[in-house]
Amino acid sequence: MKITVLTDVEREGADCDAVVGQVQEALGQSGHRASVLPVHGDVRKMVAGLTRRKPDLVFNLVESFGDNTSADVAVAGLLDLLGLRYTGSGPGALYLCQNKALGKKVLAFEHILYPDFAVFSHDAGFETGGSMRMPLFVKPLSADASIGISGDSLVHDTTALVQRVEEIHRKVGDSALVEEYIEGRELYVGVLGNREPQALPPIEMDFSGMPEGMPRIVGSKAKWSKNSAEYKGTESRLADLPEELRARLQKAAVDAYRALRVRDYGRIDLRLAETGEIYVIEVNASCYLESGSEFATAAAAAGMEFPALVERIVQLALERYA
């Protein structure tokens, strides 16, 4: 098929993320004719590029649009309006996953366990999802990629809570989501599929290399600052779990995936509490696909190397449109 890989770039003419070339190469290995359309905040250019290419399918890797980090929702809606077939979730699922408080309310309706939370907004009243106990974890309501998350995100008193909320308002320009902190193991479960979603082997974040006293969380430094203690002290790996626990984690992931109407592929972030309870922390629709990511690592462990994974996502999208 003729497939356009649609991606956002930081500025006009900037290099694409490594995942773009990896996906393009994988599509070529499967016999497709793949081209890349990088966009940065120019709707007309994006529409013209798609119209000129007339793709059989758009492989949608857009996470933002220009300076708008929430615009992946609008891009998916535009693809719908243009009548184009594309991979990944639609605007509804992307919005539910992006607005973490709204997503948790959907999980509540489906009786899926998540940490109690409250939302502190610039322009709205205090909103709570339960009675919370310290310590609390404070993060932006909508931002992803660990933006606005650091060791200071874990607070133990009201003064620190207020300071952290104000910092998110000021520096990130987002509402603050405050959650009850769940002490325990952090695990990620990738899910593939639509009518019959398949849960991939769980990946665990190993915090054993973190300096003593640092909170066991994945902040922006742990993700992006290669010289930081947080980056060096964390490592994701296949989880060593009893079969019964693995099955429980995978069921929780698939339940959350279905509840938020995720399509084709996604990753569910979970915390396994010391009591044995499984909490859904986040649902990531159309999650990061880079060949070394947790999602691709889990797929490889399930016997699906990267080219096969990319082709599977293509076929899942085509099945929906058929």
Q: Are residue 174 and residue 187 in the same domain, yes or no?
A: no
Looking at the fold, whether 82 and 123 belong to one and the same domain comes out as no
| Residue 99 forms part of a structural domain | no
- Going by pLDDT thresholds of 50, 70 and 90, the confidence category of residue 62 is very high
For 65-115, write each residue's pLDDT tens digit: 988 888 999 999 999 999 999 999 999 999 999 999 999 999 999 999 999
| 286 has pLDDT over 90 | yes
Residue 171 included in any domain: yes
Say which range, 68-72, 190-194, 255-259, 302-306, has the weakest mean pLDDT.
68-72
CA dihedral for 220, 223, 226, 230, sign (positive or negative): positive
Which pLDDT belongs to residue 154? Answer: 86
Within a domain: 95? no
Q: Let me know whether 143 and 252 are in one domain.
A: no
Question: Tell me, what's the pLDDT at 124?
Answer: 61
**Res 144: pLDDT:** 67
Q: Could you tell me if 194 and 267 lie in one domain?
A: yes
**pLDDT at residue number 224:** 58
Q: Which of 27-36, 151-160, 279-288 has the lowest mean pLDDT?
A: 151-160
- Residues 285, 246: one domain? yes
Considering the domain architecture, whether residues 80 and 122 belong to the same structural domain is answered as no
**pLDDT score, position 49:** 97
Mark whether 75 and 129 lie in a shared domain.
no
Percent of the chain with pLDDT over 70: 92
Is residue 227 in a domain?
no
Asked whether the predicted pLDDT for residue 166 surpasses 90, the reply is: no
> Where is average pLDDT lowest: 30-44, 137-151, 164-178, 182-196?
137-151
**pTM attached to this predicted model:** 0.91
Identify which of 28-37, 60-69, 154-163, 176-185 has the greatest average pLDDT: 28-37
Looking from the CA of 59 toward its CB, the CA atoms found within 13 Å total 30
What is the tens place of the pLDDT at every residue in 104-133? 999 999 999 999 998 988 776 555 555 788
Query: Which residues lie closer than 8 Å to 72 by C-beta, 6 or more apart?
Result: 62, 63, 64, 65, 94, 98, 286
161 in a structural domain: yes
Number of domains in the chain: 3
CATH number at residue 57: 3.40.50
Residue 153, domain extent: 116-180
Of residues 59 and 156, more confidence is placed in 59
Q: Which is more confidently placed, 237 or 122?
A: 237
- Residues 55 and 128 placed together within one structural domain of the fold: no
Q: What is the mean pLDDT of residues 280-291?
A: 95
Which pLDDT tens digit goes with each residue over 209-230? 777 777 677 766 666 567 776 6
The answer to whether residue 218 is domain-embedded is no
Q: Compute the distance between CA of residue 108 and CA of residue 185 in angstroms, rounded to an integer.
A: 22
φ and ψ of 16, to 5 deg: -80, 160
Chain position carrying tokens 């599929």: 193
Which of 284, 285, 286, 289 lies closest to 309 in space, CA to CA? 289
Which ranges of the chain would DSSP assign to H, the alpha helix? 18-29, 43-53, 72-81, 91-98, 100-109, 158-167, 220-224, 229-232, 243-259, 294-301, 306-321
Q: How many degrees, rounded to 5, is the angle at CA 66 between CA 286 and CA 221?
A: 65
Instruction: Indicate if 139 and 44 belong to the same structural domain.
Output: no
**pLDDT tens digits, residue range 170-211?**
888 888 899 999 999 999 999 999 999 999 999 999 887 777
- Predicted pLDDT at 125: 58
The CATH number of the domain holding residue 316 is 3.30.470.20
Q: Domain check: are 195 and 313 in the same one?
A: yes
Percent of the chain with pLDDT over 90: 68
Cα separation of 257 and 217, whole Å? 23
* Bond prior to 38 in cis (omega within 30° of 0): no
Per the prediction, the chain carries an average pLDDT of: 90
- Is 14 in the same domain as 41? yes
Which residues fall within 8 angstroms of residue 71, CB to CB, at 6 or more apart? 62, 64, 65
Q: Does 229 fall in a domain? A: no
Domain presence at residue 223: no
Phi-psi region of 37 (alpha: psi -120 to 50; beta: other; left: phi over 0): beta
Mean pLDDT check: name the lowest of 13-27, 228-242, 295-309: 228-242
The CATH number assigned to the domain holding 147 equals 3.30.1490
**Whether residue 137 sits in one domain with residue 11:** no
Q: What's the mean pLDDT in 244-257?
A: 98
Does position 289 have pLDDT exceeding 70, yes or no? yes
